[in-house]
Amino acid sequence: MNGVTAFATSNHQIVLHIAPQKYDEEMLKYALAHEYYHVVYYEEYRNRKRDLVEYVISEGKADSFANILIPNFKAPWTKELSPEGVNTIWNWIKERRYSFNETDLGEMRNGNREISQWSDYRIRYHIMQEFLKNNPNVTLEEWTLMESDKILEKSGFLDK
């Protein structure tokens, strides 16, 4: 991912992996903003059981937060999805909503015969952008605390 990978830990730390010769400064800023959001989000939701939809939406929230802070950076996974792509990814997620595992997460990231690479990134970004477009008066704090099913409902995503 442009020489930068990162993740937030359950004990509120951000771990960065940077390839010094090939990292992109904007990607570094974006990754830090994204992971910072997770640290704050997980503090609020640390005891909540997470299903696959909650995981996807929380990632979309983190991407949306990063986009607010770094508005001119376009991550590769923010490309538009076709309606068929949206349906395929969404059906795949729904089938695994309550039973997902690390293999499923890997397939969403890397792709498989059904879904393309970065499916989790692309669908999460798509849903949150629909939500933000349809709900411009909802504050960052409000959508951070909003349940994933409410985000889906208010995004209009389920109506398509």
- Write out pLDDT tens, residues 81-110: 888 988 999 999 999 999 988 999 899 989
Note the pLDDT tens digit of each residue in 12-68. Answer: 899 999 999 999 999 999 999 999 999 988 887 766 667 899 889 998 999 999 999
| The pLDDT value given to residue 78 | 76
Can you give the residue range of the structural domain that contains 103? 4-159
Q: Decide if 68 contacts 61 (C-beta within 8 A).
A: no
Q: Number of folded domains in the chain?
A: 1
Query: What average pLDDT is seen over the chain?
Result: 89
Torsion of CA 132, 136, 142, 147, to 10 degrees: -40
Note the pLDDT tens digit of each residue in 132-155. Answer: 999 999 999 999 989 999 999 999
